[in-house]
Structure 1
């Protein structure tokens, strides 16, 4: 099965635990919010000066992800015929949006490396963000309907964790992040998607696997889980 990933490391890292020939990741689009994908926003272009600034970002991957966000490249990627399943997680939607030349872009950590100052910020918890997200999802799904079909989407229904593998790091997580606020927002987003997708599209693992791992390759975070989460997802995807 060929899988394209649209989301964050929570889904991409699953394949670091894949020792099966049944699953193959064929593409990865990251750090670009569904809230940027409304038809009106996609039609807008930003000036070359913003692309030129990307040359100062050292990482080729990070430059590419910001450029792809500017160009809404995910809509091109999902139109390819090189995959069977599109695996999505909503960790891409935890970031604020910024306005450049009247076009919304994702204020991801990679974007912030550019030093570009948006004309306006749309807070990720605001009603405006939700309105843009709803329009973006509907446009995204209209394109999926013409390509692999909604039945071949899989939503990796994950939540931020407020516990780690030990008390010290549990305390650190709850000091550094507002986990409940992010999870409340996720519930709103999941509810919207679940009304528009078949039940088979929603992947849920036992919530007791949402445990933050301080030894994770990317460091401590409410969305960097223990190994059992990733190995469980591999087994689920084999039957997706």
Structure 2
């Protein structure tokens, strides 16, 4: 099965547990909010001087992800018929948006490393953000529908967790992150796509598996889970 992933490590890391290698990764796009994919925004361009600023990002992978976000590259990728599955998660939509020369981009941690000063910021919890997000979803889904069909889409319906394998880390999660507020926003997003896609397109595991791994290779966070989560997701896709 040829797969493209649009989201974060919560989806990408699933493939690390696909021991039979039944899922073949075609492409992976991270650090790019769906709220930037509306047709009006995607049609706008950013001048070369801002692309030059991306050289301030030391990691080549991180630099490439920000450049991909600037180009709305996921739309071009989704418009190709070289995949069977498009796995999407919404955890990247925790970031605010930055406006540069009239175009909205994702104000990710990697973007901040570029040193670019945006003209304004759109708060991720604002009504405007959700409106833009819905426009982005509609444009992406239309692109997929015109290419391989909506049946190729799978939504990784995942939530932030307040529970870690180490009880002390559970306290840290709740002190550092606004988990309830982010999960409430995710609920609104899932409700929107569930009115568009069939129930078979929504992939959700038992919430008991949403446990933060205190020793996760990417560090402690509300969406870096124990191995049991990823193994369960692999079983779902390989069933």
Question: How many residue pairs are counted as aligned between the two chains?
Answer: 239
Contact 2:5 2:87 in 1 (8 A): yes
State the Cα distance separating 1:179 from its structure 2 match: 0.3
What do residues 151-197 of structure 1 show as CA deviations (whole Å, max 9, x unaligned)? 11000000000110121000000000010000000000000000011
Partner of 1:25: 25
Partner of 1:69: 69
SS at match of 2:19: coil
1:201-226 deviation line (CA, Å, top 9, x unaligned): 00010000000001101000000001
Q: What do the CA deviations read for 1:102-153 (whole angstroms, capped 9, x no partner)?
A: 1000001110111111110000000010010111111111111101111110
2:6 alignment counterpart = 6
Could you tell me which residue of structure 2 aligns to residue 155 of structure 1?
155
Secondary structure of the structure 1 residue equivalent to 2:3: strand
CA contact (8 A) 2:78 2:140 kept: no
The answer for the alignment partner of 2:107 in structure 1 is: 107
**Residue in 2 that maps onto 1:86:** 86
The CA RMSD over aligned residues, in Å, is 0.8
Partner of 2:62: helix, strand, or coil?
Answer: helix
Q: What's the offset of the Cα at 1:229? A: 0.0
SS where residue 77 of structure 1 aligns? helix
| Structure 1, unpaired ranges of 5+ | none
Q: Normalized against structure 1, the TM-score is what?
A: 0.98
Runs ≥4 residues deviating over 6 A: none
Structure 1 match to 2:205: 205
3-state SS of 1:142 partner:
helix
Instruction: Name the counterpart of 2:138.
Output: 138
Deviation of residue 23 (structure 1)? 1.6
Question: For residues 102 and 23 of structure 1, what CA distance do their matches in structure 2 show?
Answer: 39
Quick check: 1:120 aligned with 2:120? yes
Which blocks of at least 5 consecutive residues in structure 2 are unaligned?
A: none
Does 2:54 align with 1:54?
yes
Distance 2:156 2:54 in 1: 30
Mapped to 2, the partners of 1:141 and 1:27 lie a distance apart of: 17
Contact persistence 2:56–2:115 (CA under 8 A)? no
SS at match of 1:125: coil
Q: Which residue of 1 aligns with 2:229?
A: 229
Stretch moving more, 80-89 or 167-176: 80-89
Kept in 1: contact 2:164–2:212 (CA 8 A)? yes
Instruction: Determine the C-alpha separation between the residues in 2 that align with 1:202 and 1:16.
Output: 21
Q: Post-superposition shift, 1:81?
A: 2.1
Displacement of 1:47: 1.0
